[in-house]
């Protein structure tokens, strides 16, 4: 009887221990799943550099304006002179050291290069700066800049940047904190634009038989700018017919246009 009693006591202790272990496991599980409420904060008082401003392209998709990284050197002189810094930088650009030195002396904090360096060239530049003991004075890096590949379209591009700023750089919202700008496609043909800039001494335009502006020399007003827009993002703009070409104060050259993609 005594042996059976011990067995009954052992079973009871095992049962109690199992209950305690189960309760402890449940408590640990509840503790692991508990989280302090997270306050979602949206703080972006101004446009972030991480936002992608939309591009402006001609009718063929060639860039008139785009946001792109530009490689160069950040300048924060400590021990080195402007001349020493300029001498080391000039090896990677077509600009001479004297010109770079003048920029640094005038307060330039970033010296952009006219081309994008390969990864090997970047490593070589960093090694050269390290060997010269200028790592505390010159830092290779890149920044985003607004580039215009062709100066022939500058008057048009600057007008578009102003008039369609909201489409190019939409303001961030709590639900869309990193909004990408839309691409604006123009009726301009860059080959014709360059040719018109080189040959016409005054305000002039080249208009297709379909009434599209293929080139324009001069300072366009807002109505003229709107008439050049073929599409914004994936949507057709449709302002082309709202401009009175026949009363326009410039010479209009009509040329055939086979298709909108030519």
Tokens representing residue 125 in the block:
């530049």
Residue 231 bridge partners (DSSP): 185, 236
CB-based contact 184:229 (threshold 8 Å): yes
Query: If you average pLDDT over residues 123-140, what whole number do you get?
Result: 78
DSSP helix/strand/coil, 224:
helix
CB-based contact 117:71 (threshold 8 Å): yes
Fold entry, domain 66-147: Alpha-Beta Plaits (3.30.70)
Residue 186 bridge partners (DSSP): 229
| Residue 58 Cα distances to 186, 239, 262, angstroms | 5, 16, 11
Q: Among 20-29, 47-56, 69-78, 168-177, where is mean pLDDT lowest?
A: 20-29
Tens of pLDDT, residue by residue over 133-144, are 777 788 777 777
Q: Residue 56: is its pLDDT beyond 90?
A: yes
Confidence of residue 105 (pLDDT cuts 50, 70, 90): confident
Domains in the chain: boundaries: 1-34, 66-147, 151-255
Q: What is the pLDDT of residue 46?
A: 40
Question: In terms of residues, how long is the chain?
Answer: 262
What lies within 8 Å, CB to CB, of 204 at 6+ separation is 196, 216, 217, 218, 250, 251, 253
Q: What is the pLDDT of residue 97?
A: 86
């Amino acid at each position: 009887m005594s042996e059976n009693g011990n067995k009954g006591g052992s079973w009871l202790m095992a049962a109690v221990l199992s209950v305690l272990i189960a309760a402890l496991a449940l408590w640990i599980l509840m503790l692991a799943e508990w989280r302090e409420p997270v306050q979602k904060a949206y703080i972006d008082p101004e446009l972030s550099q991480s936002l992608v401003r939309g591009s402006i392209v001609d009718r063929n998709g060639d860039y008139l304006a785009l946001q792109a990284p530009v490689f160069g050197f950040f300048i924060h002189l400590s021990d080195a002179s402007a001349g020493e810094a300029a001498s080391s930088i000039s090896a990677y650009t077509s600009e001479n050291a004297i010109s770079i030195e003048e920029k640094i002396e005038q307060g330039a904090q970033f010296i952009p290069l006219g081309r994008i360096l390969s990864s090997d060239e970047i490593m070589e530049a960093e090694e050269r700066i390290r060997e010269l003991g200028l790592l505390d004075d010159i830092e290779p890096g890149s920044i985003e800049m607004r580039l215009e590949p062709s100066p022939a379209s500058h008057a048009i591009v600057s007008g578009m940047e102003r008039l369609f700023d909201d489409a190019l750089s939409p303001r961030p919202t709590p639900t869309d904190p990193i909004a990408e700008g839309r691409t604006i496609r123009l009726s301009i043909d860059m080959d014709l634009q360059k040719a018109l800039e080189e040959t016409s001494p005054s305000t002039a335009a080249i208009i297709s038989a379909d009434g599209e502006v293929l080139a324009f020399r001069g300072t366009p007003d807002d109505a003229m700018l709107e008439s050049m827009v073929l599409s914004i993002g994936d949507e057709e703009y449709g302002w082309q017919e709202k401009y009175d070409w026949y009363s326009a104060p410039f010479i209009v050259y009509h040329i055939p246009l086979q298709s909108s993609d030519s």
